């Protein structure tokens, strides 16, 4: 089945260019365009798209704020932010967008984003991941998730870290969080997901904040976001 997409950008030329490039991607149909947040909301209600490509900087709510609104109203909607600037990437991934594209968008990179959306849509509601293909030089190797100690965002890539090595993977941390078993993995911070059974200690770092000491040869210390501490206490009670 084709992926139904909408394009939201206040610049007509930018919308035309992205629509043309999406036409060169396999099995994706652009079902509408919008210039701003109100038009995008109406378009999502009328067309029920699978994915929305949102410009970051627009009059009114920016792309990340709009993404949060659209995804709250349409839980199955995937969002890809498109921007000439990279400073919005962390906010975007915290909002659980599917991908973040930098302008000028390259066709190969756009196709990767489309495949991420397709993969995320296909796995929605299915069994949790048990294995994942990770990059190793010019090939992919299959890694069992039981061997992963933690995932981290570094140098604009997501890395799976095992006791012996680290591997780049073609997923966002938000996509991973959706697909991983929540009984096994915990999102401790916007840039980290850790295995519960590898948390060896919870260390105070001052001002009500903490870091996690993991069971790993390098004894990494992973930040614990203040807003995530309450969630961790539900699984591993600690005082302070």
CA atoms within 13 A on the CB side of 93: 24
Q: CB-based burial of residue 144 (10 Å sphere; 0-12 exposed, 13-18 middle, 19+ buried)?
A: exposed
**What percentage of the chain carries pLDDT values higher than 70?**
95
User: Is residue 204 one of the residues assigned to a domain?
Assistant: yes
pLDDT score for 235: 84
- The answer to whether residues 61 and 7 belong to one domain is yes
- The answer to whether residues 149 and 222 belong to one domain is yes
Residue 113: CATH number of its domain:
3.40.50.2300
CA atoms within 13 A on the CB side of 42: 7
- The answer to whether residues 111 and 162 belong to one domain is no
Residue 208: CATH number of its domain:
2.40.50.1020
**Where does the pLDDT of residue 128 fall: very low under 50, low under 70, confident under 90, or very high at 90 and above?**
low
User: Is residue 19 one of the residues assigned to a domain?
Assistant: yes
Q: Residue 221 has which token pair?
A: 């210390």
pTM of the model: 0.55
pLDDT score for 142: 81
- The answer to whether residues 105 and 180 belong to one domain is no
Residues spanned by the domain of 193: 131-235
Give mean pLDDT, residues 93-102: 88
- The answer to whether residues 106 and 57 belong to one domain is yes
CB contact at 8 A, 212 and 222: yes
User: In the predicted model, is pLDDT for residue 157 greater than 80?
Assistant: yes
- The answer to whether residues 97 and 162 belong to one domain is no
**Where does the pLDDT of residue 18 fall: very low under 50, low under 70, confident under 90, or very high at 90 and above?**
very high
For the chain, how many structural domains are there in total? 2
For the four alpha carbons of 24, 108, 192 and 123, in that order, the dihedral sign comes to positive
User: Is residue 119 one of the residues assigned to a domain?
Assistant: yes
- Of 224, 231, 185, 233, residue with least CA distance to 204: 224
Task: List, in sequence order, the alpha helices (H) in 51-163.
Answer: 63-73, 89-94, 107-123
List strand residue ranges (DSSP E) for 24-138, in order.
28-34, 51-55, 78-83, 99-102, 131-136
Report which of residues 202 and 173 the model is more confident about: 202
């Amino acid at each position: 089945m084709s992926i139904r997409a909408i394009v939201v950008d206040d610049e007509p030329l930018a919308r035309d260019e992205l629509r043309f490039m999406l036409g060169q991607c396999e099995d994706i149909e652009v079902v509408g365009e919008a210039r701003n947040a109100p038009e995008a909301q109406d378009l999502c209600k009328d067309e029920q798209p699978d994915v929305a490509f949102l410009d970051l900087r627009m009059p009114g709510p920016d792309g990340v704020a709009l993404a949060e609104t659209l995804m709250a109203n349409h839980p199955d909607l995937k969002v890809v932010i498109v921007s000439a600037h990279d400073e919005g990437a962390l906010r975007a991934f915290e909002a659980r967008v599917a991908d973040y594209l930098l302008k000028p968008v390259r066709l190969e990179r756009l196709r990767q984003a489309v495949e991420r959306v397709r993969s995320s849509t296909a796995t929605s509601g299915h069994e949790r991941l048990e294995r994942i293909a990770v990059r190793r030089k010019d090939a992919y190797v299959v890694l069992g998730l039981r061997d992963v100690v933690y995932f981290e965002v570094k140098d604009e890539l997501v890395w799976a870290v095992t006791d012996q090595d680290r591997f780049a993977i073609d997923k966002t941390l938000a996509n991973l969080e959706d697909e991983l078993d929540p009984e096994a993995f915990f999102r401790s911070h916007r840039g980290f997901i850790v295995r519960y059974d590898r948390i060896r200690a919870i260390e105070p770092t001052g001002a009500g904040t903490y870091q996690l000491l993991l069971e790993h040869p390098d004894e990494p210390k992973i930040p614990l976001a203040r807003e995530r501490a309450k969630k961790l206490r539900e699984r591993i009670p600690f005082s302070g």
